[in-house]
């Protein structure tokens, strides 16, 4: 429509310009699309094919079968799902508290932000090693326990004999490592919520809790959605922290994928594992998108 | 709230900068992150591959000076020596700084994990852009390369080196069953033995000879130690980079079933074997599931009796030779199974500097270098090199134990799995998974063996690998009985 109007009023040359302007965004998108296609879509399709090939390259369900009969497979699925169920909600709650504290305008909020964001700057393997030095047999935690006389020789937190404590150690380390990411997303979301809503609620005598529950949280929904999707997908890919703390004592899907590809030299079974991770991620993203569906007009931002 | 905007932006920038590369390098070195048991990070292979790369060039450069580098003139840069051995940084540095220091041509020694090691060789062969001139690996590493015709025939070189006195069985193995061909020159050998802290000797069971133990006695010994010290002090390298799978393949299975771990995998003898091993595990330090190099827990006094590769025990006996004795591995009902490890030097097809590689092979098989390898890295000569009397006491202890084990009346040598190529890791996983399910998780033995046997058979059928010693050669793939 606009093009037509422009044509009738101004003539032919500007039409070309207008069309060029319409095409410009696509031109700008091309590098991204090429990049994504070359480095994400194409490898993903290759991996998909790999998962259904035997070692000779013929189509086969062998990799899937091999994965399914592997004693570590169900364990890895269980651990990954449990880890996600424990870590993600903990992170969202913590991050929400942290960002609300930052937004409350207390003194030194900037300092808190820097301190809380430190884990963002640390590679996940380094984070794993930091926690390893805490939880290991002669680590900081055991030194403290022994010094305080709470334990004689310390507790083997990471021994295969204590699967629950391995799991908790990994969950704590993962929570520490990635809560900051959720916080940054939620904080950004909180900052764009107009103050007027909260002020209006206050005028009507809403308590702090009521304001958070009925004003802030609903308006924060898009940010929560993004944070949940990103964190859940990343949780399914948990790898370095688990490897650092538990090695293969706590099999997880990403760890098994790596193991099959790297140590066991079987890219087909590795691709099958990767496929499972992808399916889980897709499934979850779908659930979140449905469950936290937002009406743009209700929120006022898109 | 504006004042939060700047920090937030900074934080986001930080996130972008840190997250992306952070996940990549970590993927390349997962197990490195796991020190044996929380000991201060590791003397052994723990620096990342990335970190060791820059270091590669320097020692090789440093090793140039005195040598006339003429023979290498046709190739550009130092000769590339890819090795599946000596990956731990400490060992690699000894190789570069000491053993290859006087090499006739400048050598760039690059040790790799089995994965990248095989990848690089096959990638270079497939693209015909060969940069590697010399390969150092296990006998089993070479089997798939021979099959794919990726190695040069070294027969002329081998006959030239006749005076080195390679043991006949090694020479036979290097032919891979093809008369008139030689695919590698024996480089060095090693094996696995028991290291014993002398404090443990007083708890030996009645009538047991520490140089001729049985597995039953080992269990009893561990129990005695536990009774006396209230600690479990037997140890195995069951961590991610540990070699406990070799214990099952080359020690327990042959000792109990008289066969390699394949034919006898789920026999009634194997069930007895796992039962008795569970008894040993009960008196073993629970950290055995994490140990990688037993020298560390031995020195830390966490473990008194440890089974491991000689190269992974050497630091303990070198540091405190008076504290330890080294003895042959225990025996089972069928004999004293043990696994000699044979390594060789080979030249890939189309090597850019074949002459330099041959000179380096000649150099590495000279008595001085063979003895230096023993002294520095605890790998034993594969030649008739005279072992000098002035060896450090720790090394002499090992040399004695290796000899006692090989010459024991009931000795039963068992080879590393052969012909599995890239499936080697999966084969090892069968034993590790079996161990974890039966011993660590306490599952029923026979059903686990039956299930794992199917996986094992699948691997053998796929690779068509025949049986290996102590089993007689098979027609077609080796079969689980």
**Among the listed ranges A103-107, B106-110, B416-420, which one has the minimum average pLDDT value?**
B416-420
**Predicted local distance difference test score (pLDDT) of residue A107:** 84
- The verdict on whether omega for the bond into residue B233 sits within 30 degrees of 0, i.e. cis, is no
Q: Do B451 and A137 touch (CB under 8 A)?
A: no
CA distances (Å), origin B260, targets A264, A286, B172, B411: 21, 51, 20, 14
Q: What value does the mean pLDDT take over residues B245-272?
A: 94
Is residue A110 less than 8 Å (CB to CB) from chain B? yes
Q: Is the model's pTM score more than 0.80? A: no
A184 pLDDT tier (thresholds 50, 70, 90): very high
Contacts of A13 (CB under 8 A, 6+ apart): none
Residue of A nearest to B428 (CA): A264
With tokens 């009931």, the residue in question is B410
**Among the listed ranges A3-12, A135-144, B357-366, B448-457, which one has the minimum average pLDDT value?**
A3-12
Tens of pLDDT, residue by residue over B201-258, are 999 999 999 999 999 999 999 999 999 999 999 999 998 889 999 999 999 999 999 9
Query: DSSP character for A193?
Result: S
Helix H or strand E segment including B349: none
**Helix pair A163-191, A109-117: axis angle to 10 deg:** 140
Residue spans in chain A of domains classed CATH 1.10.3720.10: 65-299
With tokens 């000649």, the residue in question is B362
ipTM above 0.90, yes or no: no
Q: What value does the mean pLDDT take over residues B427-449?
A: 94
Q: Which of A113, A124, A248 sits opposite B11 (nearest CB)?
A: A113
Q: Could you tell me which residue, B51 or A240, shows the higher pLDDT?
A: A240
Q: Which of A120, A132, A258 sits opposite B18 (nearest CB)?
A: A120
Structure tokens, B9: 């932006």
pLDDT over 90 for what percent of chain B?
56
With tokens 């009960």, the residue in question is B282
Q: What value does the mean pLDDT take over residues B330-344?
A: 93
**Predicted local distance difference test score (pLDDT) of residue B475:** 83
Strands, sheet with B79-83, edge to edge from the N-terminal-most edge strand: B107-111, B79-83, B132-138, B341-346, B185-190, B380-381
C-alpha span between B2 and A2 (Å, rounded): 38
Of B82, B237, B261, B462, the residue nearest A266 (C-alpha): B462
Mean pLDDT of chain A: 86
**Among the listed ranges A151-160, A203-212, A293-302, which one has the minimum average pLDDT value?**
A293-302
**Predicted local distance difference test score (pLDDT) of residue B12:** 54
CB-CB contact of B262 with B471 (8 Å): yes
**Taking 90 as the threshold, does the pLDDT of residue B72 lie above it?**
no
Structure tokens, A114: 């820097």
Q: Which of B113, B440, B458 sits opposite A160 (nearest CB)?
A: B440
Distance of CA A224 to the CA centre of its chain: 12
C-alpha span between A98 and A87 (Å, rounded): 16
Contacts of B35 (CB under 8 A, 6+ apart): A132, A136, B41, B42, B46, B292
Q: What value does the mean pLDDT take over residues B432-442?
A: 93
**Predicted local distance difference test score (pLDDT) of residue B406:** 80
Q: Do A264 and B12 touch (CB under 8 A)?
A: no
C-alpha span between A185 and A220 (Å, rounded): 10
CA dihedral B51, B52, B58, B63 (to 10 degrees): 170
Helix H or strand E segment including A116: helix A109-117
Residue of A nearest to B113 (CA): A263
**Predicted local distance difference test score (pLDDT) of residue B11:** 55
**Taking 50 as the threshold, does the pLDDT of residue B273 lie above it?**
yes
Of B273, B205, B288, the residue nearest B239 (C-alpha): B288
Helix H or strand E segment including B324: strand B324-327
Which of A95, A100, A125 is most worth mutating to test chain B (most B CB atoms within 10 A of its CB)?
A125
**Predicted local distance difference test score (pLDDT) of residue A175:** 93
Q: Which of B8, B287, B426 sits opposite A184 (nearest CB)?
A: B8
**Predicted local distance difference test score (pLDDT) of residue B60:** 37
Tens of pLDDT, residue by residue over B4-49, are 565 555 555 555 444 443 333 333 333 333 333 333 333 333 333 3
Q: What value does the mean pLDDT take over residues A268-280?
A: 94
Q: How far is B115 from chain A (nearest CA, A)?
A: 6
- Please, what are the domains in chain B? 49-65+72-189+341-396 (3.40.190.10), 192-340+409-463 (3.40.190.10)
**Taking 90 as the threshold, does the pLDDT of residue B316 lie above it?**
yes
Residue of B nearest to A195 (CA): B1
**Taking 90 as the threshold, does the pLDDT of residue B332 lie above it?**
yes
Which of B19, B24, B33, B236 is most worth mutating to test chain A (most A CB atoms within 10 A of its CB)?
B33
Helix H or strand E segment including B135: strand B132-138
The number of residues in chain B equals: 481
Phi/psi at B346 (5° precision): -135, 160
Q: How far is B17 from chain A (nearest CA, A)?
A: 8
Q: How far is A136 from chain B (nearest CA, A)?
A: 5
**Predicted local distance difference test score (pLDDT) of residue B414:** 87
Distance between terminal CA atoms of chain B? 74
Cβ contacts of A159 on chain B, cutoff 8 Å: 286-287, 289-290
Of B370, B345, B344, the residue nearest B357 (C-alpha): B345
**Predicted local distance difference test score (pLDDT) of residue A258:** 92
Q: How many C-beta atoms surround the C-beta of residue A114 within 10 A?
A: 14
CA torsion sign for A17, A21, A23, A24 is positive
Is residue A243 less than 8 Å (CB to CB) from chain B? yes
CB-CB contact of B254 with B260 (8 Å): yes
Q: Do B26 and A123 touch (CB under 8 A)?
A: yes
* β-pair type (B79-83, B107-111): parallel
Is residue A152 less than 8 Å (CB to CB) from chain B? no
**Predicted local distance difference test score (pLDDT) of residue B24:** 37
CA distances (Å), origin B387, targets B42, B310, B375: 30, 16, 10
Q: What value does the mean pLDDT take over residues A39-61?
A: 89
**Predicted local distance difference test score (pLDDT) of residue A12:** 60
**Taking 60 as the threshold, does the pLDDT of residue B474 lie above it?**
yes
Q: Could you tell me which residue, B52 or B220, shows the higher pLDDT?
A: B220
**Predicted local distance difference test score (pLDDT) of residue B260:** 86
**Taking 60 as the threshold, does the pLDDT of residue B59 lie above it?**
no
**Assigned architecture for domain A65-299:** Orthogonal Bundle (1.10)
Strands, sheet with B192-197, edge to edge from the N-terminal-most edge strand: B234-235, B305-309, B192-197, B324-327
Q: Do A120 and B15 touch (CB under 8 A)?
A: yes
CA distances (Å), origin A68, targets A11, A80, A242, A260, B480: 67, 16, 22, 13, 22
Tens of pLDDT, residue by residue over B178-200, are 888 999 999 998 899 999 999 99
Q: Could you tell me which residue, A239 or A16, shows the higher pLDDT?
A: A239
**Predicted local distance difference test score (pLDDT) of residue A189:** 93
Apex B339 CA angle, B336 and B341, nearest 5? 155
């Amino acid at each position: 429509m606009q093009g037509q109007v422009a044509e009738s009023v101004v003539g032919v040359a500007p039409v070309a310009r207008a069309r060029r302007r319409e095409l410009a965004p696509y031109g700008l998108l091309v590098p991204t699309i090429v990049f994504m296609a070359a480095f994400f879509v194409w490898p993903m399709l290759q991996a998909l094919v790999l998962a259904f090939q035997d070692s000779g390259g013929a189509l086969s369900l062998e990799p899937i079968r091999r994965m399914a009969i592997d004693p570590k497979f169900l364990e890895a699925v269980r651990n990954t799902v449990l880890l996600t169920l424990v870590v993600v909600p903990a992170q969202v709650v913590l991050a929400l508290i942290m960002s609300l504290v930052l937004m409350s305008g207390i003194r030194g909020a900037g300092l808190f932000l820097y301190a809380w964001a430190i884990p963002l700057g640390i590679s996940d393997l380094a984070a794993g090693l930091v926690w390893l030095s805490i939880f290991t047999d002669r680590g900081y935690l055991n030194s403290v326990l022994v010094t305080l006389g709470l334990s004689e020789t310390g507790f083997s937190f990471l021994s295969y004999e204590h699967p629950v404590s391995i799991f908790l150690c990994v969950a704590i380390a993962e929570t520490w490592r990635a809560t900051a990411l959720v916080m940054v997303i939620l904080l950004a979301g909180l900052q764009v919520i107009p103050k007027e809503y909260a002020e209006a609620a206050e005028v009507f005598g809403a308590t702090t809790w009521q304001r958070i529950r009925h004003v802030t949280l609903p308006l924060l929904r898009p940010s929560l959605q993004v944070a949940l999707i990103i964190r859940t997908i990343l949780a399914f890919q948990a790898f370095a922290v688990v490897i650092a703390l538990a090695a293969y004592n706590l099999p997880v899907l990403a760890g098994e994928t790596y193991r099959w590809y790297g140590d066991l030299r079987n890219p087909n079974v590795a691709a099958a594992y990767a496929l499972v991770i992808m399916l889980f991620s897709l499934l979850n993203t779908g659930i979140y998108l449905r469950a936290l569906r937002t009406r743009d007009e209700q929120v006022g931002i898109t | 709230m504006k004042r939060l905007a700047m920090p937030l932006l900074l934080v986001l920038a930080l996130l972008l900068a840190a997250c992306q590369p952070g996940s990549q390098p970590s993927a390349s070195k997962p197990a490195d992150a796991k020190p044996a048991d929380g000991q201060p990070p590791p003397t052994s292979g723990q620096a990342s591959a990335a970190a060791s790369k820059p270091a590669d060039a320097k020692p090789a450069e440093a090793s140039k000076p005195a040598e006339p580098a003429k023979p290498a003139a046709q190739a550009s840069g130092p000769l590339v020596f890819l090795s599946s051995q000596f990956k731990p940084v400490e060992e690699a540095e000894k190789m570069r700084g000491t053993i290859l220091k006087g090499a006739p041509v400048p050598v760039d020694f690059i040790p790799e994990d089995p994965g990248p090691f095989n990848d690089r060789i096959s990638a270079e062969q497939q693209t015909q852009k060969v940069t590697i001139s010399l390969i150092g690996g296990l006998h089993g590493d070479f089997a798939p390369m021979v099959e794919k015709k990726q190695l040069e025939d070294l027969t002329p070189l081998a006959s030239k080196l006749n005076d080195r006195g390679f043991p006949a069985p090694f020479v036979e193995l290097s032919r891979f069953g093809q008369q008139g061909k030689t695919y590698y020159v024996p480089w060095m050998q090693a094996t696995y033995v028991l290291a014993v802290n002398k404090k443990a000797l007083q708890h030996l069971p009645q009538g047991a000879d520490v140089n001729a133990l049985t597995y039953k006695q080992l269990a009893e010994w561990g129990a005695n130690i536990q009774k006396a010290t209230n600690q479990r002090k037997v140890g195995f390298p069951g961590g991610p980079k540990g070699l406990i799978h070799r214990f099952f393949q080359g020690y327990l299975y042959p000792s109990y079933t008289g066969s390699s771990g394949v034919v006898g995998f789920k026999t009634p003898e194997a069930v007895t074997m796992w039962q008795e091993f569970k008894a040993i595990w009960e008196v073993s330090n629970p950290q055995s599931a994490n140990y990688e190099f037993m020298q560390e827990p031995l020195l830390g006094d966490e473990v008194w009796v440890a089974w491991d590769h000689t190269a992974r025990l050497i630091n303990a006996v070198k540091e405190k030779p008076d504290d330890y004795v080294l003895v042959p591995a225990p025996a089972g009902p069928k004999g004293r199974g043990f696994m000699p490890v044979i390594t060789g030097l080979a030249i890939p097809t189309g090597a850019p500097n074949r002459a330099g590689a041959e000179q380096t092979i000649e150099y590495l098989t000279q008595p001085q270098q063979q003895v230096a390898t023993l002294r520095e890295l605890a790998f034993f000569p594969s030649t008739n090199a005279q072992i000098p009397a002035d060896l450090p006491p720790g090394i002499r202890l090992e040399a004695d134990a290796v000899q006692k084990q090989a010459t024991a009346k009931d000795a039963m040598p068992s080879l590393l799995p052969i012909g599995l190529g890239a499936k080697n890791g999966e084969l090892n996983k069968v034993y590790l998974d079996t161990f974890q399910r039966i011993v660590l998780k306490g599952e029923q033995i026979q059903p686990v063996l039956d299930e794992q046997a199917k996986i094992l058979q699948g691997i053998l059928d796929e690779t068509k690998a025949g049986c290996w010693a102590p089993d007689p050669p098979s027609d077609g793939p080796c079969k689980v009985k």
